[in-house]
Amino acid sequence: MDISITRSAFLKALPDGNGLSFGTVFTDHMFNMDYSPEKGWHNSRIEPYGPITMDPSTMVLHYGQSIFEGLKAFKTDSDAVNLFRPEENFRRFNRSAEKMCIPRIDEAFALDALKQLLAVERRWVPFAPGTSLYIRPTIIAMDPFLGVRASYQYRFFIILSPVGPYYKEGFDPVKIWVTEKYVRAVPGGVGDVKTAGNYAASLCASEEAHKKGYTQVLWLDGVERRYVEEVGSMNIFFVIDDEIITPALTGSILAGITRDTVIRLAARWGNPVTQRRISIDEVMEAHAAGKLQECFGSGTAAVISPVGEIKYKDTVLPIGNGEVGMWAKRFFDRITGIQYGRVEDPEGWVVPL
Ligand code: COI
């Protein structure tokens, strides 16, 4: 399938790479493609970044039938541009599509479209330390209709945003708050895919966390409210008595690609990650016994984010004396080293542009 390219008549000034935060600046162009039952996915095009005109009755606005992905492009020291495991993102995109009754995309075509968009937008890949070009593929339901059913028509788009750290703390430890009041997902629901509603459902809890001085929410399982699931924008790892533990993928947790990368690296280093259910009580007990050595999150936006404090009920668990833990640093250094092309990549995770 051909992709038409319409270039913007005006190019924006590039932002100062050193002052970049997350998700506020967008590039000059975007990729767009439409779906109809008659034509399937069609009309693939790269065109100037701009608003999507839609009828107020458009289904995505009412029933939230939408999915998205998050991946990054990295500028290397030799001025090359690297993607990191992008096939995994498009594979997960299709898993999300299936669960949200959205027609699958051709993964190889989507990756090719992304590469063509990046070729047009290459100047936007920032090179200041710790920065990257965040990539947001999205599909939204486009039928103008108010009945509740799956839409017949869809828009697939990809937008790009030069970013710095996701958290204002950068790589300094963040503080997370365990909510007992709210749940994020339940078995049989959609917590294991990237759909907008999961994030909308997290907002009240996030607001409460912020008011209490915490960066993010640590979610417990939706049934017993005992087992740790994930943090708002990351998967979570604990190091207890030298064992690295992460909650098993029980159906209500997002299968993070950075999570998978941590698991594979740890196995290669001879310290396999245990994937199992872990209750918040176990975390509290490990802390009380002095065995909770580290806690960190993993995600595309957050990369590896050390956790320096967890609050559960009235108890505050300080972790690691405000320092970045050994494992968090080791994973962060290796993953970013591979992404920026500074260390070897035996698994072939990097896809150069
Ligand atoms: C990501 O890590 O890419 C995410 O999608 C998390 C968040 C920014 C929604």
* Residue at 235 is within a domain: yes
Same domain assignment for residues 151 and 222: no
- Give the closest residue (by CA) to ligand 1 atom 3: 70
For residue 221, the model assigns a pLDDT of 96
Kindly report, residue by residue over 113-128, the tens digit of the pLDDT: 999 999 999 999 999 9
169 assigned to some structural domain:
no
Does residue 2 register a pLDDT over 90? Answer: yes
- Same domain membership, residue 193 and residue 140: no
Structural domain ending residue among the three candidates 163, 192, 211: 163
pLDDT of 322 reads: 83
Q: Are residues 155 and 261 in the same domain?
A: no
- For ligand 1, atom 5, the nearest C-alpha belongs to 70
Ligand 1 mean position to 115 CA, how many Å? 20
> pLDDT digit string (tens) for 303-334?
999 999 999 999 999 999 889 999 999 999 99
- In this structure, the strands spanning 350-352 and 81-84 are antiparallel
Buried/exposed code over 187-207 (b: 16+ C-beta within 10 A; e: otherwise): eebbbbbbbbebeebbeebbe
178 and 312: one domain? yes
Q: How far is CA 128 from the centre of its chain?
A: 21
Query: What is the pLDDT, as a whole number, of residue 233?
Result: 87
Q: Are residues 155 and 181 in the same domain?
A: no
pLDDT confidence band for 109 (50 / 70 / 90): very high
- Asked whether residue 181 falls in the same domain as residue 74, the answer is no
The strand pair at 243-247 and 274-276 is best described as parallel
Q: Indicate the top mutation candidate among 160, 219, 233 to test ligand 1's pocket, ranked by most ligand atoms within 8 A of CB.
A: 233
How many helices (H) and strands (E) the chain has is answered by: 8, 18
11: pLDDT confidence band, cut at 50, 70 and 90? very high
Residue 299: CB within 6 Å of ligand 1?
yes
Residue 240 host element (H or E):
strand 235-240
Same domain for 299 and 330: yes
The arithmetic mean of pLDDT across residues 193-221, rounded, is: 95
Residue 303 lies in a domain: yes
Q: Tell me: do 123 and 195 sit in the same domain.
A: no
pLDDT of residue 167: 75
Q: Is 353 inside any structural domain?
A: no
249 and 330 fall within a common domain: yes
Judged against a pLDDT cut of 90, whether residue 348 lies above it is answered with: yes
Residues 110 and 181 reside in one and the same domain: no
Q: What is the pLDDT of residue 7?
A: 98
Q: What is the mean pLDDT of the chain?
A: 96
Distance CA 235, CA 254 (A): 7
CATH number at residue 109: 3.30.470.10
- Please tell me the predicted confidence (pLDDT) of residue 138: 98
CA neighbor of 255 nearest in space, from 322, 193, 334, 165? 193
Establish whether residue 71 lines the binding site of ligand 1, counting it when its CB lies within 6 angstroms of any ligand atom. Answer: no
Over range 67-80, report the average pLDDT: 96
Ligand 1 binding pocket mutation candidate from 90, 158, 161, 300 (most atoms within 8 A of CB): 300
CA distances from 172 to 18, 36, 315 (A): 17, 47, 22
In a domain, 345, yes or no: no
For the segment 142-155, what is each residue's pLDDT rounded down to a tens digit?
999 999 999 999 99
**Position 259 in a domain:** yes
What does the pLDDT average to over 235-259? Answer: 97
168 within domain boundaries: no
Domain boundary among 108, 135, 163: 163
User: Which residues form the domain of 8?
Assistant: 4-163
Could you give the 3-state DSSP secondary structure of residue 351? strand
- The per-residue pLDDT for 1 is 78
Q: What percent of the chain has pLDDT over 70?
A: 100
Q: Is residue 41 domain-resident? A: yes
Report the separation in Å between the CA atom of 65 and the middle of ligand 1, taken as the mean of its atom positions. Answer: 18
> 216 and 86: one domain?
no
Q: How confident is the model at residue 338 (pLDDT cuts 50, 70, 90)?
A: very high
Residues 148 and 207 grouped into a single domain: no
The last residue of one of the domains, among 118, 143, 163, is 163
Instruction: State which ligand 1 atom lies nearest to the alpha carbon of 300.
Output: 2
pLDDT at 77: 93
Mean pLDDT of 51-63: 98
What CATH code is carried by the domain that includes residue 208? 3.20.10.10
The pLDDT tens digits of the residues spanning 159-206 come to 999 999 887 777 789 999 999 999 999 999 999 999 999 999 999 999
Shortest CA distance to 290 belongs to which of 313, 266, 321? 321
Domain count, the chain: 2
pLDDT on residue 172: 82
The answer, yes or no, to whether any atom of ligand 1 lies below 6 A from the CB of 298, is no
Report pTM: 0.96
244: Cα within 13 Å, side-chain hemisphere: 22
